[in-house]
Amino acid sequence: MDWLTYLSFGDAGWGDELLQGLGVTLALALATLPVGLLLGLLVAALALFGARPARALALAFSTTLRGLPELLTLFIIYHGVGMGLNALLRWYNPAAGYLELSPFIAGVLALGLVFAAYSSEVWRGAWQALDGGQREAGQAMGLRRLTIFRVIELPQLLRLALPGLGNLWINLLKDTALVSVIALSDLMRMANIAVGTTKKPFLFFLVVCLAYWGVCLLCECLLGRMERRANRGYRSGGAAA
């Protein structure tokens, strides 16, 4: 059973490195989530309620980022933003030191932008499904725009958008595997390093697949629970699932 040795913890085995990699994977996904959700909400708001140029911008953002492979977006941001930041810094202060763009931040930026583009579509669909009459009632009561959003629209938005956002979260978890290509020590990269030394690719990549599968199944379970809780008190329309 020498595959057990390969996966063990401690100096001889790679189990602890793989677990560390899994931690980085989850941290990356969790850090990207708020960025993607908030930016997506903003873009959706611009697309629905903004002036013409804002709507065009929102549409361009959403179309471009959904039309590019995530791997490409990751490379462009990793190489491009790093160069751009330093050029900006040196233009401002030629004697300045160095600004480091860690692969983690590059990953959060790239995946966050992609997540925002997809989630803006989900938010948009959910927003359009809201009952306009409730918004008008809020206006009639003299509530401010932000209050109407916070008290009336947002709770309903969350319920309607949850299935779509849940799918996007699962996709985000899987997309984090791509950052292994830009040297972030996530689960995929640790597996590659382990394979380089042990020459047992099937074992390690199978373990990686099972780990991702396990996390995704867990998330699907949790999301199902969240959806049921969000839909408590609502009668289900249409045929029973």
Partner 1 sequence: MMDILMRFSGQLLAGAGLTLQLTAIAALLACALALPLAIARCSERGLLRWPIRLFVSFFRGTPLLAQLFLVYYGSGQFRAELSQLGLWWFFRDPYYCALLTFVLNSTAYQVEILRGGLRAVPYGQIEAGVAMGLSRFNQYRTIILPNAYRIAFPALGNEIILLLKGSAVVSVITLFDVMGQTRRIFSQTFDLSVYLWAALLYLLMTSAFVWLWHRLELGLTRHQRARQAPSTATSLASKRVSAGVSP
Partner 2 sequence: MNKTLRSLLLCASLVALPFAAVQAAEGPTLRLATEGAYPPFNYYTADGQLAGFDIEIGKALCERMQAKCSLVAQDWDGIIPALLARKYDVIIASMFITEERRQKVAFSDPYQKSAMTFVVPKDSELQDFSPAAMAGKTIGAQGATTQADYLMARFPDSDVRLYPTQDAVNLDLVSGRLDAQVGDMIPMLDWTRKSTDGSCCRLAGEPISDPKYVGEGVGMALRKEDEQLRLALNQALASIIADGTYKAINDKFFSVNLLTLEQ
**Interactions with partner 1, residue window 76-135 (CB under 8 A):** 76, 79-80, 83
117 vs 41: CA distance, rounded Å: 10
For residues 220 and 170, the answer to whether their CB atoms sit within 8 Å is: yes
**Cβ within 8 Å of residue 129, ≥6 positions away:** 160
Of the listed pieces 117-125, 168-176, 191-199, 204-212, which binds partner 2 according to CB under 8 A?
191-199
Largest Cα–Cα distance of the chain, in whole Å? Answer: 72
**Pick from partner 1, partner 2, none: which does 178 bind, CB < 5 to 8 A by kind?**
partner 1
Nearer to partner 2, 43 or 182 (CB): 182
For residues 10 and 210, the answer to whether their CB atoms sit within 8 Å is: no
119 vs 18: CA distance, rounded Å: 30
Is residue 193 close enough to count as binding partner 2 by CB under 8 A? yes
Is residue 13 exposed (0-12), middle (13-18) or buried (19+ Cβ within 10 Å)?
middle
Quick note: the x/- pattern for partner 2 over 108-137, rule CB under 8 A, is x-----------------------------
**Pick from partner 2, partner 1, none: which does 64 bind, CB < 5 to 8 A by kind?**
partner 1
Task: Provide the binding-site residues for partner 2, judged by CB under 8 A.
Answer: 11-14, 17, 24, 27-28, 30-31, 33-34, 37, 78-79, 82-83, 86, 96-102, 104-105, 108, 155, 158-159, 181-183, 192-193, 195-197, 199, 201, 229-230
